Amino acid sequence: MKKNNIIFIGMPAVGKSTIGVVAAKRLGMRFVDTDLLIQEQEGRLLHEIIEEAGEDGFLAIENRVNRELQVENSVIAPGGSVVYSDEAMRHFKEIGTVIYLRVSYDTIRRRIRNPRQRGVVLREGQSFQELYEERVKLFEKYADITIDEDQLSIEETIGKVLSVIKN
Ligand SMILES: Nc1ncnc2c1ncn2[C@@H]1O[C@H](COP(=O)(O)OP(=O)(O)OP(=O)(O)O)[C@@H](O)[C@H]1O
Ligand SMILES: O=C(O)C1=C[C@@H](O)[C@@H](O)[C@H](O)C1
Ligand SMILES: [Mg+2]
């Protein structure tokens, strides 16, 4: 049977972690940030893993940690790059409802001035706009529900997320 988890996907800095923890509290659920699990299991920071293992090495670790996650009644905030991992995403769809937090390219570009410095998995020569377009296709492929947060404040986005989940 499908477990009652909620999984947020979306671009880096869309608010999966910020909104996820508040939503969990308001819904009486647990909160799991799988970026923190990766750091704990690896004993190093995300940007150190990317520097030392490369983008593909990081994605392999991210895939493993996320696909092995066994939780119930939890709001899960993975990193923005988890959608490159088909095993992890298929696991998430089995254990819960996947919510895509959608923002426009312009909004996310304003939030992230320096993608590499934030540890975004950008391939050599790939622009942030190309990365946005590549990921949107994957977010749309895996989403059970899409919530548009453009023009909304954090509080307004949390309100929208909670009303969608409760309905
Ligand atoms: N409307 C909004 N909704 C969500 N976050 C917002 C909004 N406006 C501004 N922010 C800011 O954007 C940032 C979101 O960061 P957060 O770490 O939660 O993103 P994330 O989706 O978990 O990213 P990552 O994929 O890197 O883990 C926060 O600094 C937050 O204050
Ligand atoms: O969107 C991304 O490429 C990433 C987001 C972060 O949460 C981390 O998972 C990592 O730095 C990669
Ligand atoms: Mg996060």
φ, ψ at 71 (rounded to 5°): -140, 165
Q: Domain limits at 70?
A: 5-166
- What single-letter amino acid sits at 143? A
17 is in an annotated binding site: yes
Query: Which tens digit of pLDDT belongs to each residue from 15-45?
Result: 999 999 999 999 999 999 999 999 999 999 9
- The answer to whether the CB of 57 falls within 8 A of the CB of 49 is yes
- What single-letter amino acid sits at 153? S
- pTM, to two decimals: 0.96
Instruction: Select from 120, 131, 135 the residue to mutate for testing ligand 2; criterion: most ligand atoms less than 8 Å from CB.
Output: 120
List CB-based neighbours of ion ligand 3 within 5 Å. 16-17
ipTM above 0.85? yes
* Tally of structural domains, the chain: 1
CA pair distance 161, 23, nearest whole angstrom: 8
Return the CATH number at 21: 3.40.50.300
